[in-house]
Amino acid sequence: MESSRHARRFRGRLVLVTGAGSGIGRATAGAFAAAGARVICADRNARTASDGADLAKELGAHDAWAECVDVADAAAMERLAERVLDAYGVVDILVNSAGVGMSGRFLDTSVADWRRTLDVNLWGVIHGCRLFARQMADRGQGGHIVTIASAAAFQPTRAVPAYATSKAAVVMLTECLRAELAEFGVGVSAVCPGFVNTPFTAAMHFAGVSEREQARLRERAVRTLGGRGCPPEKVARAVLRAVARDTPVATVTPDARLVRLMSRFAPPLRRAVARLDPPS
């Protein structure tokens, strides 16, 4: 089991996971907990954050705590960083997992849609990195930051332009941070899954459609993608491996590996795929 294999490395380490109330974040908090880490489960929903912390304790966490925070809120994230430093010390590992889904063509995507997508998927990562990376650098004892990106970072598409743009930016931010933070002994990794079977799909927002159509499209997305997605625990295991090996960019699923290869070796095919519409 991946967590057991890394127990010596992560036992007693302080790990903060955003979006830890469900999906990949919850599974990742659980994986670090099973390796004996001290885990802070941060989520915008206080109840699910608490549930995540309880699960972490059940799975063997050295200790676990819940924190309620909206990663898109800069001031709230600053307060979180101060609380964590005062109460628990400097975080050894930060996992930026909080994210939102946004589907719909560019011309149908409103300013509010763009704002929410970028506020959570990009600015949420920026806030986490700028605050906790500073603490890691000042401490001078290394650390690691993980960003949960997506296969969408490598594949342009007319179906999810806002989401794909946010995730591509996260991968570039990760690469930039990796270059800058190396002098402080802080590793930075982007973990990029493809389809993952989580509640994320059921909460996807579709731009430019009625509420009735929104419900239909969500139901279709769950039906179409849910069965194809890998379990979030597989992504969580990839996160632990990425930290242990200091992997720059880790693709988790076959579809993610395929689109990354296409982006490097078959750009014309990649552009042709970008023009395809999802089934209606």
**CATH code where residue 38 lies:** 3.40.50.720
Inform me whether the pLDDT recorded for 105 exceeds 80.
yes
pLDDT recorded at residue 74: 97
Catalytically annotated residues: 163
What does the radius of gyration of the chain's CA atoms come to, in whole angstroms? 18
Q: Is residue 82 part of a domain?
A: yes
Confidence of residue 46 (pLDDT cuts 50, 70, 90): very high
Q: For 278, which DSSP code?
A: P
pLDDT recorded at residue 12: 95
Number of domains the chain is built from: 1
Q: Is residue 111 part of a domain?
A: yes
Q: Is residue 279 part of a domain?
A: no
Q: For 104, which DSSP code?
A: S
pLDDT recorded at residue 251: 96
Average pLDDT over residues 100-126: 95
- 228 within 8 A of 198, measured Cβ to Cβ: no
pLDDT recorded at residue 209: 86
Q: Is residue 126 part of a domain?
A: yes
Inform me whether the pLDDT recorded for 233 exceeds 70.
yes
State the average pLDDT for the chain: 92
Domain, as residue range, for 120: 2-274
pLDDT recorded at residue 121: 97
Query: What's the one-letter identity of residue 98?
Result: A
pLDDT recorded at residue 3: 56
- 230 within 8 A of 252, measured Cβ to Cβ: yes
Strands (DSSP E) contained in 6-156 are 14-18, 38-43, 63-68, 93-96, 102-103, 143-148
Confidence of residue 35 (pLDDT cuts 50, 70, 90): very high
Cα–Cα dist 60/237, whole Å: 16
Q: Is residue 101 part of a domain?
A: yes
Confidence of residue 225 (pLDDT cuts 50, 70, 90): low
Average pLDDT over residues 234-256: 95
Inform me whether the pLDDT recorded for 171 exceeds 60.
yes
Q: Is residue 73 part of a domain?
A: yes
